[in-house]
Structure 1
Amino acid sequence: MTDNTHDPKLVSWVAGAGPGSDFPVQNLPLGIFSEAKGKRRPGVAIGDYILDLNGIADLLDEEWREDFAQPVLNAWLSRGNGAQRDLRARLSELLTDERYRDDVEPQLIGQSEVRMHVPCLVGDYTDFYVGINHAMNVGRQFRPDNPLLPNYKYVPIGYHGRASSIRASGEDVVRPCGQRKPPEAEAPEYGPSRRLDYELELGMWIGQGNALGERIPVRDAESHIAGWCLLNDWSARDIQGWEYQPLGPFLAKNFLSTVSPWIVTSEALAPFRMPVPARPEGDPEPLPYLQTDGDTAFAIQLEVTLMTERMRAAGAAPKVLSRGTAAAAMYWSAAQIVTHHASNGCNLQPGDLIGTGTLSTASDEGLGCLLEISEGGKRPFDLGNGETRSFLEDGDEIVLRAWCEAEGAVRIGFGECVGRVIPSR
C-alpha cells in the first residue's frame, strides 16, 4: 500500500535528489558502504549521497541501533516489513523537514567517495528460470519442435548457486576456465571460456525467513521479500553445454554473480504494482498451493548496454543490447517463487538471495543474454563501429539498469550493475 512517503509532492533538501535521480526521497534503498580504510556500515541512497544510518542512530528508534552498527543488513532485514515501513517513514521525515537538516547533513557522504559492498552475508543463493521467453528461445536452439520441457508450466524451475562468489557491482569478471567440448572434437579440452555471456535478472532479498519444515503460504510470500536488486548471473556457455547434464549448471556459473548494491525495498515499489499478466489461453492453472487472488507484479523497466575497449578509447556511447519490462518476461510471480522454494519445508533465511533467471521479452529488443541475441553464436551482430559480437570479449563491460515509472508517482531507479571482462589468470 502507498502512504505519504510516496507522495510525488515530497521534495528532499538533499542536492541531486530531484526528478531524474535514481534515488529521490520516494526511493530510500538500503546498502552497505565503506570509506577508504573504513569499516563497512549501512546507509541509504538519497540523490548523489549516502546517509550513514549509524551516524544518525540517535535520531532513530533505539531498538534499531545495534542493527545499524553491523557490517551487513541481515539482522535488520530479519525484523520484517513492518520495521522497514517505520524506518522509511522516519527517513522521509528527516530528509524533507528542514528542522533536521543541521543534524542529518553532516552524515551525508558522496556516493563517488565510497565503495559499495554486497548488502548481506548471503547464506544461500537460488536462481530460478521463470523467464518464459528466454526458456523458449534457448529451448528452440536444442529442441526446435518442443522448446519447453513438460514441467515448465507446472513447476517454477530453479537451482542452487554459489553464494561465496556473489559480488557487488564493479567487480571485474575474470574469464573462467573449464572443460569445453566443441562439436567437432572427439574429447573435451580445458581452457578459458570462448562463449562468455551475461544474464539480465532481478534479485530478491529475503527478509523474515521460515523454520525448517514449515511452508510459506502464497498469500504470505511477499511479506518475506525485503527488497529487490539487479542481478547478472554470468555464464560460460561452452562450459555449461558440456557439464550441465545430468545435474545442471556448475562451473559455468559459480565463478561470479554480480548484484547492484542497493536493496530497493518492497515499500518503495508500492506505487508500481500491477496485476500479474494473464497466462496464455490453454495453459494449465497453477496447482492449488501456487494460486492466489490478486497476485501482483511490478512495472520495472530493464536495460542492458555494452561498452567495448574500442568504444572506450574512441569516447563512444555504449551499445544498447536490450530494453524491456520485467512483468512481460516472468511466467511465475515473486510470491509463487518464494512459496515454491519453501513448499518442501526448506528454510529461507534473512539475507538469502533469489534470482528470477534471465528476463527476456517476446520481441528481439528485449532479449536478456547474448545466447539469445546471437542465436547461440550463429548470428554475430553489428555494434555499429566496425565490431561484431557473438559472446563477450576481454575488455567488454556490461551495465544493467532498472527503473520504475508510473502516472502519479515519482520515478525511482535501482542504480547500476556493472562488470568488465578481464583475461583469465
Structure 2
Amino acid sequence: MRKHILSFAIVFMIAFGMNIVTVHAEKTGFYGYYYSDGYTCCDFKGTGIEKVVEIPSDVTQLHIFMFFWERSLEKIIVPSNVKVVKARCFYGCENLKYIVFKGDVEIEENAIVLCKNLKAISAPMNSGAYRYAKEHGIRVVTSPEPCFEKGKVYCLKGDKVYQDVVNNIDDITWSSSNSKVAEVGNDGTVKVKKAGKAKIAATVAGTTVSYTIVAYARTEENRIKQAKKEEISNGKTTIQKLKNTHDWMIRNISYDHKARNKIRNNECCPSESNTTRSALLKNKAMCLGYARTYKKILDNLKVPCIIVSGRVGYEGHAWNMVKLNGKWYNVDVTWDDPDRNNDQGQLWIEYKYFLKSTAYMSQYRNQYFAYKNYPRCTSTKYDLVTKF
C-alpha cells in the first residue's frame, strides 16, 4: 500500500510538469534519489526497528508522505542542507517524539499530521520550523542536543512536576540536590515537599542536564506569583497580559465535570468549584471559578476586568469583560478551554471567545445577561481573529 502511494505521488508530479530525474538508488532506508523543482529528494522505507534516523547530507527537500506510517521512529534529525518540507511529509508516525531541525527550513502547512506522541520540535530561533511549531501549538526548543525546555520551574508545596529531556529517547538516571524540598522518582516526576530550592538532574549516556525547582508555600497568592514568573509576566502590553493569563489558565486548570453533573442531577451544588481556591490550588473549576480566577489575576496585573453573570441556553453561566485600549470586550476562558488535545498530542488553545463583541457572542451561542448592568462591548476588532 505504501509503495503504491509513493508511486502515485511521483506519477502525479510528472503529470503536472515537475522535473524529476533519478540520480541513483540505494538499498538502505533512504533510496530512489531524484530531482524535483531544483531540489534533491529521496524516498524512505523503514525496517520497523530503527528509532532514530538522520536525513542524508545531499537531500534538500523532504517530499509528501516521505515518512508515511513509520511507527518505529521516535526521533528524526533534519540537517541544515534541507530547505523545504512538503505537506504531509511526517504522516501517521505514531511514536515520533522529537524532530530536530538544524537549519532554517520552509515548512508547508500540514507537514506534520497524526503524529500523536510528538513532544517537541528543535529548531533555531525564528527559523521556519520554529515559527511552524509556535503557530501549531507544538512545544519548541532551540537546542538540538538533549535538554530541558525550562531552566527554572516555579511551583508550590504539594505540586507534582515533570519535565522530559527533550531530544532524548534513551534511559535516564534522575537525581535531586535536595530531596527534602523536591524528591524525584525513577520516571522523572518530582514531588514538591516544602518551600525551597533544588536542582533536578538527568544523566543520559554520560551527559548530565539539569533544571532548578523553586518552590513556594501553598497559597493562592503564591500560585499567582508562580504563574506570573512562568508565563504571564512575559507579556508587556495589556493584550499580551490578557492572552497569557487566558493561556496559563487553560494549561493549568481543568473544567470540573463531576461538579457540573451533580448540579444536573439536582444534587447539592459543590460551591467550592466556583472559587478561586479550587481553581488555583486544586486545578479544578466550573465557569464562575474560571471567571473569578481570571479577574483575580488581572486585578493583580492592574488590568480592568469584571465578571458577567447570565445564561447560555437554559443554563446559568459566568464569563468576563475586560477593558483594552479604552474599549470593553468579552472573554470566556471556560468556553475556550477545549478539554482535548490536537492531533499532535499538544494542548490546543482556542480563541473563539477571546476579546469578542457582545454581538459576536450572541451570534455563536444563545446567551443572555442584563445588558444594561454591564459595559457595552461593541468593538468588532478581534471578532474574526483566531490566533494571537
TM class by shorter-chain length? under 0.3
TM-score by length of 1: 0.22
The higher-RCO structure (CA 8 Å, 6+ apart) is 1
Q: TM-score, normalised by structure 2?
A: 0.23
Greater Rg over alpha carbons, structure: 2
